[in-house]
Structure formats: C-alpha cells, structure tokens
Amino acid sequence: MNATRKVLSRFIALLVLAIVLAGCQAMKYRTLEAFGVEKRDILSGRVESARDAQDEAKEQFSSALEQFRATVAFDGEELEDLYDRLSGAYERSTDDAERVRERIDEVRDVAQDLFDEWSDELDDYESAELRRRSEELLQETRGRYERMITAMERAEETMDPVLQAFEDQVLFLKHNLNARAISALRSELEGIESDTRALIEAMNEAISEADAFIQSLE
C-alpha cells in the first residue's frame, strides 16, 4: 500500500512540475510577445543557435580527429601528454555534442508551439481566401521545417559512433599507456576518419538547411 502511495505521489509531483513548466513557457511567450517578439522570431533565433552549435561541434570533432592522428603517429613524445591531449579533445567533443542536442530540443519545443498556435488560429479567419493562403503558408513552412529538423537529427545521430570511438581510444590508453598500446590503435584510424567524415558531411547539410529555413522565415 505504501509503495502504491509513493508511486502515486511521484506521479502527481511530476504532473504538477509539467504543468508549472508549461505555465512558465506560456508566460515567457506572453512576455516576449508583449515586446513584439513572436514565436516565429523565437524559432528563428533557436534555429540559429542550433546551427552555430553544430558548426562549433563540427570544428571540435575535426580537431579531435587531428589529435587522434597525432596520437597514433607517436614519435617518442611523453605518453602522459599524448593521453591528456586526446582525453581533453574527447571531453570537449562530448560537451559540444550535448550542446547540439540541447539546442535541437529547444528548436523542436518552440516549433511545435508555433505550428499548434498557427493551426488553431486558422479557425479565427472570417475570410475564406485569407484562411486558405495562411493554411498553404503553414504547410510550406512546416515542410521546410521538417526537412531541416530531419537533417539536424541525422547529424545528431552521426555524433554517437564518433564519440563512442573516441571514448574507446581514451579508455584503452588510460589502462594501457605504452607505445605498444598506441601502435595497436593505428588499425582504428581508418574507421574513425570515415565516421568523422560522415559526421561533418551530415552537419554541413544540417547547417545549410538551417540557413535556408532562417532565410525563409525572414
């Protein structure tokens, strides 16, 4: 019985939190709209932030790849220094990847709110012609958004195998910090290079789609 009460209490707490957060979001929108900032402007700004986060992550992943190349090309440097640089590159890549995920989530949130509001307000039109034109514009905007968010999600997914590969190398060296271990990593280089190239291509596509979407909103 106590266990049931605990589960119910937790559910109620989560429900209240969700309602409060939704209320905060609605209040935030109302405040911004009072200053002339519409959801459309918010969406444009968040897409821009997501695009910039992907651009930064792309550069960081390229830098991490270069660090891995330098590591497997070991030429007598201090092994601790090599490990520290590779580990640092991996940590920065992880941070940038998390930032990309957060920015994409923020884009999804405001886009859903914008499209829901736009769709609901179609019923407020008196003019059938204006309603039709607004509905067409909604569908066009939603279509461009879907192309963009699909590209962003594809780029987001391609980060995982690269991050996992870098983590594997860092963990391997952490417990086997010697010249033989570094030599063993050379066989991994081709696969990491291939995955990183795919990631950069996916991010370039997502960045291009983001630029096109931002321009369409303007």
pLDDT at residue 20 in the model: 45
Q: State pLDDT tens for residues 17-37.
A: 444 444 555 555 555 554 345
Q: What is the mean pLDDT of the chain?
A: 85
pLDDT confidence bin for 183, thresholds 50/70/90: confident
- 208's CB contacts (< 8 A; 6+ apart) are 151
pLDDT at residue 67 in the model: 92
Q: What percent of the chain has pLDDT above 90?
A: 66
Give the H or E element holding residue 12: helix 2-34
DSSP state of 178: S
Distance CA 182, CA 77 (A): 12
CB 161 within 8 A of CB 60: no
End-to-end CA distance of the chain: 58
Q: Which residue has the higher pLDDT, 131 or 38?
A: 131
Convert 64-81 to b/e letters by CB count within 10 Å (16 or more is b).
Answer: bbebbeebbeeeeeebee
Distance CA 115, CA 138 (A): 7
Q: What is the mean pLDDT of residues 56-74?
A: 92
Global confidence as pTM: 0.80
Centre a 10 Å sphere on the Cβ of residue 207 and count the other Cβ atoms it contains.
Answer: 19
Is pLDDT above 50 for 15?
A: no
